[in-house]
Amino acid sequence: MIYIDMDDVAADLQGYANQVNGTSLSIGDSMGESNWAELRRGHQRMFRDLEPNRGFIEKCIRGFELDKGSAAFLTALPFDNKSLWRYAPGDKLRWVHEHVSPEMDVFFGPFAHDKRLHCEPGDMLIDDNHQNCIEWVQQGGFAHLYRNVDDCVYWLKHTKVIVYDRMV
């Protein structure tokens, strides 16, 4: 199974946060507590409103035919924010079904540090969180630290050859 993170992989959380906070952070940069605090004020439905990473969706999900049965989303709820947490599950589910596929399964960690609990040996994870990738590999899976679509395409192509006995 291939598990795909939503925020900053398939959806542009960092772009949304940069726009709200007036920052210019990149995927993988820590937003810091002050930037999260601003998002918590008046942006409780942000997960519903994120722009899709169209390159990732087209080249990775559709390009490798990652669909129901071979792939699912594995996303996390905001750890320490009840106002964001209240809407996040429904909004993330709606986002995936609207921007990717209504057939795609969506699982919740429930939190980022719990994602490793979903890993079975040989499962694959595409995630922008370095710690999630380390823990996934420690559980016997394969992980790609997402930074850009071209590196992810390369990883999927070459890792799938190893994991599955076929080319996609």
Sort strands 142-145 and 124-127 into parallel, antiparallel or unpaired: parallel
Which tokens hold the place of 67? 């669909």
Cis amide leading into 110 (omega within 30): yes
In sequence order, the 6+-apart residues with CB closer than 8 A to the CB of 3 are 71, 72, 73, 74, 107, 115, 118, 119, 123, 124, 125, 126, 127
Sign for the CA dihedral angle at 98, 104, 105, 111 comes to: negative
Indicate whether this model's pTM tops 0.75. yes
- Distance, in Å, from the CA atom of 25 to the CA atom of 98, rounded to the nearest integer, reads 26
Q: Which domains does the chain have, with CATH numbers?
A: 2-163 (3.40.50)
Residuewise pLDDT in 10s, the chain (168 residues): 999 999 999 999 999 989 998 999 888 888 877 777 777 777 888 899 999 999 999 999 999 998 777 899 999 988 765 666 688 899 999 999 999 999 999 999 988 899 999 999 999 999 999 999 999 999 999 999 999 999 999 999 988 644 444 333
Of 56, 89, 94, the C-alpha closest to 75 is 89
- Distance, in Å, from the CA atom of 91 to the CA atom of 124, rounded to the nearest integer, reads 24
- Distance, in Å, from the CA atom of 50 to the CA atom of 163, rounded to the nearest integer, reads 32
pLDDT of residue 32: 78
Which tokens hold the place of 11? 């959806």
Residue type, 45: R
- Distance, in Å, from the CA atom of 24 to the CA atom of 31, rounded to the nearest integer, reads 10
